[in-house]
Chain A
């Protein structure tokens, strides 16, 4: 699984790094920073939860 973040859409809700800190971190302003673009199988569920809880729909997942 691959994950992409649209920085233009992110406004810093912080749901992704709350719910999946193995994949997402925050920058100085609290906006999303992607820690790894390739998600190992063990973290796929977490990546999905993060994407589904982003109110800005800024996280895209592809297989």
Chain B
């Protein structure tokens, strides 16, 4: 038996890989493809996790939560005091939460907010278009999804900077220090976590007095198997929404526009025929996979490609690698907007399929349509190189220039 208190050691000789190296996050596909071809079970050079890269294996793990559990709030140290709901809960409890949450994030429901997102995208471009230059992240890709999130939560758009501070405190605490220090990072996360709980505790109290058409009011009325959600459960959903709903779409927009800036022929196709945008989004999500991996806690010993993975070990399912596996995609290295078969795993799969996938697809579609309608030709300023952050691949900074008519 494995003692869960003891940190598991790599049980076989696998290769050590550092996926957090800047040169990897800026151009991950060759590294992924090498792992898929030669070393389908590697381990992280930073310690802790086995890395699973082949499409077939990643999909198998995603579909088997009994072996590959998501219940691991303490292992990740994200400033939470309890598991985030539903992401860090396994079926069958997770299934009950999703029954309540899925209808609020359905494609039909998301369509209602499309005009709002479109209006906001135009407003953001209005602010920069005459300048012929912007920071695509700061001026567009960051505020757009955050504002959509605030609308869904029924919060005023003036809360934007506060929300950016809260999510960055959890996701990117290292950006607040000159040299990353694990203890200082943990401290920022714990404090930010307390701030998030306190903020939403106030929102819950306010919505109980003045219910509206927002997410928190809905959760206050919702029932799981005939029982209302507790305030703690609503906080645990809110914590997830702020972490999962803000950074991910930002990163996807940034990866997409970085690709299109570097590949003008592909960009020109989208400008000439905007009906290609949805297919282009699917292909760019596959190729770029901005959320690169999902963690799981192994609950029983398994052997995969001759490598033992023991109960108690963490694994990282490299969805970015799975998405460039030739065994699934044929010529996976070709970025082809006309690809007819594209079962990419950028939104995960199995029971934990991204709750916000329909919101994300809508935001991406509106953003890329409006951006290319208003700014059809653009480039990275000559001499500049874009750098992508690891884990969730954002471009910091993201200078972009275009000709002003």
User: A interface vs B, CB < 8 Å?
Assistant: 11-14, 17-18, 26, 28-31, 49, 52-57
Contacts and interface: CB of A to CB of B under 8 A. Distances in A.
B345 interface: yes
Interface in B69-111: 98-99, 102-103, 105-108
Nearest to A10: B353
Contacts of B349: 11, 13, 55-56
Given A13-B349, A28-B103, A29-B99, 11 more contacts: A11-B349, A12-B106, A14-B107, A28-B106, A29-B98, A29-B106, A52-B343, A55-B59, A55-B345, A55-B353, A56-B63
Given A14-B357, A56-B350, A49 B340 contact: yes
Interface of B: 59, 63, 98-99, 102-103, 105-108, 278, 340-345, 347, 349-351, 353, 357-358
Contacts of A30: 102-103, 105-108, 358
A12 B353 contact: yes
Contact of A29 (B103, B340, B342, B357): B103
A13 B353 contact: yes
A56 B344 CA distance: 11
Contacts of A52: 340-341, 343
A54 B278 CA distance: 16
Contacts of A29: 98-99, 102-103, 106
Contacts of A31: 102
A29 B103 CA distance: 4
A45 to B, nearest CB: 9
A61 B106 CA distance: 26
Q: Which 10 A-B pairs have the closest CB atoms?
A: A30-B106, A29-B102, A52-B341, A11-B353, A55-B343, A55-B349, A28-B103, A29-B103, A14-B107, A30-B102
13 contacts: A14-B357, A17-B107, A26-B107, A29-B98, A29-B99, A29-B103, A30-B105, A49-B341, A52-B341, A53-B341, A55-B345, A56-B63, A56-B349
Contacts of B340: 49, 52
B294 to A, nearest CB: 14
B318 to A, nearest CB: 16
Nearest to A25: B108
Nearest to A56: B349
A10 to B, nearest CB: 10
Contacts of B106: 12, 26, 28-30
A39 B128 CA distance: 49
Contacts of B108: 26, 30
A55 B62 CA distance: 11
B102 A12 contact: yes
B44 to A, nearest CB: 25
A18 B103 contact: no
A29 B59 CA distance: 22
Contacts of B350: 11, 56
Contacts of B99: 29
B195 to A, nearest CB: 32
A55 B357 CA distance: 13
Nearest to A57: B343
- Best-buried of A28, A30, A56 by chain B (most CB within 10 Å): A30
A11 to B, nearest CB: 4
Contacts of B341: 49, 52-53
A37 B357 CA distance: 27
Nearest to B354: A13
Nearest to B350: A11
Nearest to B278: A18
Nearest to B59: A55
A14 B353 CA distance: 11
A17 B3 CA distance: 47
Contacts of A56: 63, 349-350
Nearest to B341: A52
A47 B278 CA distance: 18
A59 to B, nearest CB: 11
Q: Which of B278, B342, B344, B353 has the most CB of A within 10 A?
A: B353
A18 B361 CA distance: 11
Contacts of A54: 343
A18 B357 CA distance: 13
Counting chain B CB atoms within 10 Å of each CB, the highest count among A31, A53, A55 belongs to A55
A60 to B, nearest CB: 15
